[in-house]
Amino acid sequence: MSDRTITLRNPADDSVIQDVPLATVHDVDQAVIRAQAALPAWRDMAPNDRVKIMRRFAETIAAHAQELAELDTRNMGMPIGSSKWCADTAAEVIHYYAGAIDKHLGHTYPVAGGVTMTFHEPLGVVGLIVPWNFPVLIACWKLGPALACGNTVILKPAETTPLSAMRLGELALEAGIPEGVLQVVVGTGPEAGWRLVEHPMVRKIGFTGSTAVGKRIMAGGAEHLKRVTLELGGKSANIVFADADIETVAASAPGAVFDNSGQDCCSRSRIFVQRPIFDEFVELMIAETQKIVVGDPMDPATNMGPLFTRAHHDRVSSYLEGVTPTWTGSAPTGNGYWFPCTIIATSDITSRVCTEEIFGPILPVMTYSSMDEAIDYVNAHDRPLGLYYFGSDKAEEQRVLTRTVSGGVTVNDVVFHNAMEDLPFGGVGPSGMGNYHGADGFRTFSHMRAVYRQTGVDVAGMGGFKAPYGKATLKTLAKELKK
Ligand code: NAD
């Protein structure tokens, strides 16, 4: 990689894909100026016209879903079945927000002497900084609400996985999104990303990435009192109680842990199993994990591809130093950044594999005796993005839910609602700040402005009864009463 380009490599075989130029601070500044210039027309566009353009954008993404999926698969190794699902879902996300534009309603408030109305106004130029692990989908989770609210947007993908974002920028223009409304800037985090954070004309940063960078972005945003939404790292826990349907849990758990090679903020990356069923669960889990096909990510039959870069492969490997796994699966050998599914049954809940976000296919399975112990274990970790509860005692379930902290909870399933564009999603503490998806996406990317209109008339029911009928009518009513 030279100073001004990055060489992208295919993680399946280490071959060079292409060199991509990297944006400078000057490039970002130019993009901000273009975005600011494009803002009035996009902001003031009749809602129904914005609906039509966003619908066309969604349809264009859907029509190019296979192409976008192949770009992500070649660029970061996600199996093609998953990356196609991500691209299809990305189109659905844009549809969801397109359909909501002209239903983004304000309120009216009856107040003394007039009336107050609220309007959801765009924030202005918005910077979207996204990671490498779900390139096209995370970009669209943010693009949908940000554009629908009337903001103009600069999208900065991870410089290692920019290809689908670059294509999204072209598809937006093809779909009729005006020049300057959605720009894609490929650059490094400390240079291009940071410039978005510190540029005074950028009024909001929507960030998804690591907790360490999220902290910096929050501090940088403070300088300009800039809004930030942070979707950060996770170490989501599963709690499996002895009365759970363990065959079903063990059958679904491997996908939830090893999907995308474990490179998932919501990866169910630590499992606590109640002591009486621990050994049986580990056996079942190993048997089910053996079914995961690790191989060429372009092959539709593949369930798990390689890790996304060599550096990340080395980082994930470091978690096995001095550790003897309980079970290790198989993976291709050769030039790719291959890593097998690995299960570690352990009682040391303080070890690195149990406490750190590995972001790879290594699963610690631990045991506990009582509900209180399980709650303590879950709460001991500071990145509670998701929690997965498995058991059949409803009172126990309610106690666990009440006494644990997490961004979201799923009961008796491995689905985490971050995959659903219509439900709120967000972390707590070091796993994030602010919600997005669904209606929360609109709140995240708009400002609610109250307008008070003085009319000199108090509204009935709030300011007291003030002759709602004309005098003539009231006289007639009075005569009627006297009869
Ligand atoms: P990262 O924080 O290194 O990078 C994320 C983005 O921030 C990239 O575009 C990067 O270029 C940019 N960046 C880096 N330094 C920056 C800086 N100083 N200023 C501005 N921008 C900067 O994270 P990553 O390694 O790309 O992604 C993995 C992390 O993302 C994991 O911790 C994972 O849990 C998290 N993640 C969270 C969610 C969620 O929804 N909570 C989803 C996906 C990934």
More confident residue, 460 or 372: 372
What does the pLDDT read at residue 467?
52
Under the banding of pLDDT at 50, 70 and 90, the label for residue 469 is low
pLDDT tens per residue, range 142-178: 999 999 999 999 999 999 999 999 999 999 999 999 9
Tell me how far apart the alpha carbons of residues 232 and 427 are, in angstroms, rounded to a whole number: 7
Centroid of ligand 1 to alpha carbon of 92 (angstroms): 24
Query: Is pLDDT of 470 > 90?
Result: no
For helices 80-100 and 47-63, what crossing angle results, to 10°? 170
More confident residue, 290 or 252: 290
Q: Active site includes 70?
A: no
Query: Is pLDDT of 195 > 90?
Result: yes
**Average pLDDT of 236-245?**
94
What does the pLDDT read at residue 359?
96
pLDDT tens per residue, range 84-98: 999 999 999 999 999
**Average pLDDT of 419-430?**
84
Mutate to test the pocket of ligand 1, among 76, 133, 259, 269 (most ligand atoms within 8 A of CB): 133
Under the banding of pLDDT at 50, 70 and 90, the label for residue 463 is very low
What does the pLDDT read at residue 1?
40
Give the pocket of ligand 1 (CB within 6 Å).
129-133, 138, 156, 158-159, 188-190, 193-194, 197, 208-210, 213, 216-217, 231-234, 265, 357, 359, 385, 427, 432
| Active-site residue, selected from the candidate residues 140, 149, 265, 341 | 265
Centroid of ligand 1 to alpha carbon of 141 (angstroms): 15
More confident residue, 408 or 122: 122
pTM for this predicted structure: 0.94
What does the pLDDT read at residue 413?
86
Under the banding of pLDDT at 50, 70 and 90, the label for residue 419 is low
Closest approach atom of ligand 1 to CA 129: 9
Mutate to test the pocket of ligand 1, among 265, 268, 307, 431 (most ligand atoms within 8 A of CB): 265
Phi then psi for residue 273, to 5 deg, are -120, 135
Closest approach atom of ligand 1 to CA 197: 20
| Active-site residue, selected from the candidate residues 70, 149, 159, 231 | 231
Centroid of ligand 1 to alpha carbon of 433 (angstroms): 14
Q: Active site includes 223?
A: no
